[in-house]
Amino acid sequence: MGLDYQEEQPIFIGNSNFAHMKQQHPEDFKRYGADIENIIKNPTYLARNEKKKSIEFIKEYKIDNDFVLVAVRVSNQNVHFARTMYVMADEKVEKYFKYNYFYKF
């Protein structure tokens, strides 16, 4: 399973994407929203979500044991957009490790 992602591809975040993150994950956004660029540039892991056709940039924050996921999707015009950002539930992190969904970055 490949990721179909090349580091030099720009990733955009539109106002509607920020609005979604603030509305759907307000506490996560307050805590990690300013770090989105760092999560994308320096993830701990990458994963692919086949169902949602996205590449997931995941940063592990060891102090709080949080795994913060930024999902990036490709538009029909082949433009990469950060669509959402949230702290992964412990069960989801365990599942990703169990089924080897994480790619070490």
Q: Is residue 4 part of a domain?
A: no
Determine, yes or no, domain membership for 1: no
Q: State the pTM of this model.
A: 0.88
Give the pLDDT confidence of 64-105 residue by residue, as tens digits: 899 999 999 988 888 899 999 999 999 999 999 999 988 887
Report residue 6's pLDDT band, with 50, 70 and 90 as the boundaries: low
Yes or no: say if 29 and 13 are a contact pair by the CB < 8 Å rule.
no
User: DSSP 3-state assignment of 6?
Assistant: coil
Alpha carbons within 13 A on the beta-carbon side of 44: 11
DSSP 42: S
- Structural domain boundaries enclosing 69: 11-104
When pLDDT is cut at 50, 70 and 90, the band that residue 53 belongs to is confident
Count of domains observed in the chain: 1
Reduced to 3 states (helix: H, G, I; strand: E, B; else coil), residue 78 is: coil
Residue 54 lies in a domain: yes
